[in-house]
Amino acid sequence: MASFDIVSKVDPQTLDNAVNTVKKEILGRYDFKDSHVSIELNKKDFLVNLEAESDMKITQIIDVLLSRSIKQGLEASIYDISKQPYQSGKVVKQEVPVRNGLKQEDAKKIVKLIKDAGLKVQAAIMDDIIRVTGKKIDDLQEVIALCRTAKLEIPLQYVNMKS
């Protein structure tokens, strides 16, 4: 039986490199000269804390964060930028959570997608991993193609392929 795992993991070192690159670029930009800017990564909680003088500058920082992350090999969908920036004294703050690991409802959605496709594979949820097994590797590759084309808005990796 051939199998592989579907995971949603973010490499902490790559994330740290992306955030440090953003810090360097923002602090070197002329439009941010002599202005209060803080970009901090909480590695334990997978949270990026942003601080700037205005909403516009927060938006610019997020744009740079997304582009630098993509250049580092991270998907833009790892960042949950749905929370709005909020005023805190003279500065504007925003917390950007980083999606790491599959949540239970996302895993159920992926398993349902695989089962509804009618492929000859079995999908099982194991904590924050989905194990997909089948007789043929071609069936497993169809599952990978199916997950890539579906609009899941979750960064997925396909690891541990065994035949």
Say which CATH number the domain at 136 has.
3.30.70.860
Give the whole-number percent of the chain exceeding pLDDT 70. Answer: 100
Residues 120 and 77 in one domain: no
Locus of tokens 């950007």? 96
Helices 55-71 & 12-28, crossing angle to 10 degrees? Answer: 130
- Return the closest-CA partner of residue 50 out of 91, 82, 90, 21: 91
Question: Where a domain ends, among 66, 97, 128?
Answer: 97
Per-residue pLDDT of 97-106, as tens digits, reads 998 888 888 8
Q: What is the pTM of this model?
A: 0.81
**What CATH number did the domain enclosing 39 receive?**
3.30.70.990
Per-residue pLDDT of 77-133, as tens digits, reads 889 888 888 888 889 999 999 988 888 888 899 999 988 888 889 988 988 899 999
The whole-angstrom separation of Cα 81 and Cα 96 is 6
Q: Per the structure, how many domains does the chain have?
A: 2
Q: For residue 82, what are its two tokens?
A: 């749905």
Locus of tokens 């955030």? 19
Residues 16 and 91 in one domain: yes
Residues 117 and 147 in one domain: yes
The whole-angstrom separation of Cα 51 and Cα 37 is 5
Strands (E), 20-156: 38-42, 47-52, 86-88, 91-97, 121-126, 129-134
